[in-house]
Chain A
Amino acid sequence: MRVIQFLRKFMRDLFFIRKSAHDLLKEQNLLLHRILANQNTVLAAAPVQEVPKEYSAVFQVKPGEVDEEEMVFIPKIVKATKSTMSKVDTSSTSWDAAGVDKLKKAKEAAKKK
């Protein structure tokens, strides 16, 4: 045992290491704890005091109220290089023009209600 202790001391003295690896690790951990504690203190002490004007609308939206339609990305479609449409099933029938007037009136009446 004495031989081992002597060798350790000799090695430390030789490489100018005054502390054991265990002690060094302990110091490092302590230092890390201090840094983290300081960071949390800084974050907690700095809430948003005033919302900049350009973000006022954003801050009015509560969680779950984001307009889903605004969040959808619609990619541009690759247009067909060439297309031939010679057969399209086509038919013509009479048009009920009165149906448009009836719908106009119904829409106005529904608005009033």
Chain B
Amino acid sequence: MACSLDVGTANLVSARLVNSEVQVKRLRNCFVSLSEEQLLHLSKSGGLNSVQIKNQHYIVGDEAVQMARIFGAEVRRPMASGVINPEERDGRSVVGALVKALLGEPEDEGEKCCFSIPANPVDNPSANNIWHTGFFTNLIEDLGYDAEPVNEALAIVYAECGDDDHSGIAISHGGGQINVAASYKLVGSLNFSICRGGDWIDKMTAASVGSTVARVLKVKEDPNFDLQKSDEFDEESIGPALEAYYQALIKYEITHLVQQWTKLKTQLDFPDAIPVILSGGTASLKGFKEMWEKELYKFAKKNPLPFKVKEVRMAKDPLGAVARGLLTYALSY
């Protein structure tokens, strides 16, 4: 059979077929360092995800964020802006342990494993995904899999656009980057990324209202927070600030989408109206789709769009869409 891995700045998500169902596993891609004494104390309560590298102890995954809040420590990230974080050497070992926990041993030797890679960013020409791709290829092959890198946003087209003849614009809203792909029946295609995402929103919001990223995350991850009713979370003005930065991010991505499309207009002259599929953890907030539609409408009033939009819709499973698309691709050989 085959499996897949969505390598995201904020989350690592794997997918595999188990008894005719898709089993999706997720681990938050972050860690926090603790002393041995602190770890011993915490391990008594049990159930913590931890990693030991040489003499250093780390709490990893979702608990890392909670522990960072308790101990006032800084959450560390193995990845930044969609690729391996060059400043976190131990982060590479942590991500290795997280990937191993998600994928496990291959079911058979050389089992296919498609993993996501970001497109090169258009707003940072000095960055590229070469080192990142090589690193994860080595890591997954080291576990015994046949690793294949696949564009992250194109994976959403595989997962969500089967009924649209694999035509559409797929946008993956990650923590470190936003990845965009446009496909017309898998023939004409455009893909690029921009170096802004959920992390950018969190940092800008925290800096604007004089708060911390941890407090911003608390509001953002509250299941009742709605981007259309941000005033209800007016404590420290975090809610309205989040709304403002979400609007700015959407405007930024639509501007870049139109810019990139215009550059390749002769190759991307799609005759039919196509759907826009929104996906990713940053897009999972209530009211995101409505805000995206409003911003697109505002943009289209001032500038003509080079494509026709059939509809704007959310992916069925915004966090698992990339992993599902990768699995579909891995099984289509």
Given the complex, which residues of A lie within 8 Å of B26, measured CB to CB? Answer: 88-90
B111-151 near A? 1/0 per residue, CB < 8 Å: 00000000000000000101101110011000000000000
Given the complex, which residues of B lie within 8 Å of A81, measured CB to CB? Answer: 52-54
B134 pairs with A72, CB closer than 8 A = yes
A106 pairs with B22, CB closer than 8 A = no
A110 pairs with B49, CB closer than 8 A = no
Q: How many residues of B contact A (CB 8 A)?
A: 55
B97 pairs with A74, CB closer than 8 A = no
The main secondary structure of chain A at its interface with chain B is mixed
- 14 more contacts with CB within 8 A, not counting A77-B92, A87-B62, A106-B165, are A69-B133, A80-B93, A86-B49, A87-B49, A88-B102, A91-B23, A93-B320, A96-B162, A99-B328, A103-B162, A103-B329, A109-B185, A110-B186, A113-B187
21 A-B pairs with CB atoms under 8 Å apart are A69-B133, A79-B93, A80-B52, A83-B50, A83-B52, A83-B101, A84-B50, A85-B49, A85-B98, A87-B61, A87-B63, A88-B25, A88-B26, A88-B101, A90-B24, A90-B25, A91-B24, A93-B22, A102-B162, A103-B158, A106-B166
The 6 closest A-B CB pairs, nearest first, are A85-B101, A110-B186, A82-B52, A83-B97, A80-B97, A89-B26
Stretch in contact with the other chain, from B13-21, B213-221, B233-241, B282-290? B13-21
Verify if B96 is at the interface (C-beta below 8 Å from A).
yes
B328 pairs with A103, CB closer than 8 A = yes
The verdict on A99 contacting B159 (CB below 8 Å), with A74-B131, A90-B24 known, is: yes
The main secondary structure of chain B at its interface with chain A is mixed
A14-33 near B? 1/0 per residue, CB < 8 Å: 00000000000000000000
A92 pairs with B93, CB closer than 8 A = no
Residues of B within 8 A of A (CB): 17-18, 20-27, 46-54, 60-63, 92-94, 96-98, 100-102, 128, 130-131, 133-135, 138-139, 158-159, 162-163, 165-166, 185-187, 317, 320, 328-329, 331-332
Partner of B187, one of A68, A78, A110: A110
Verify if A95 is at the interface (C-beta below 8 Å from B).
yes
A78 pairs with B159, CB closer than 8 A = no
Given the complex, which residues of A lie within 8 Å of B21, measured CB to CB? Answer: 92-95
Given the complex, which residues of A lie within 8 Å of B47, measured CB to CB? Answer: 86-87
B138 pairs with A98, CB closer than 8 A = no
A89 pairs with B48, CB closer than 8 A = no
Given the complex, which residues of B lie within 8 Å of A80, measured CB to CB? Answer: 51-53, 93-94, 96-97
Given the complex, which residues of B lie within 8 Å of A51, measured CB to CB? Answer: none
- Give the complex CA separation of A78 and B56 in angstroms: 12
Verify if A8 is at the interface (C-beta below 8 Å from B).
no
Verify if A104 is at the interface (C-beta below 8 Å from B).
yes
Q: How far is the CB of B288 from chain A (nearest CB, A)?
A: 21
Q: How far is the CB of A109 from chain B (nearest CB, A)?
A: 7
- Give the complex CA separation of A100 and B326 in angstroms: 11
- Give the complex CA separation of A94 and B23 in angstroms: 9
Verify if A53 is at the interface (C-beta below 8 Å from B).
no
Q: Which of A56-87 contact B (CB under 8 A)?
A: 68-69, 72, 74, 76-87
- Give the complex CA separation of A80 and B186 in angstroms: 40
B96 pairs with A88, CB closer than 8 A = no
Partner of A94, one of B22, B128, B135: B22
Given the complex, which residues of A lie within 8 Å of B102, measured CB to CB? Answer: 88
Q: Which residue of B lies closest to A76 (CB)?
A: B138
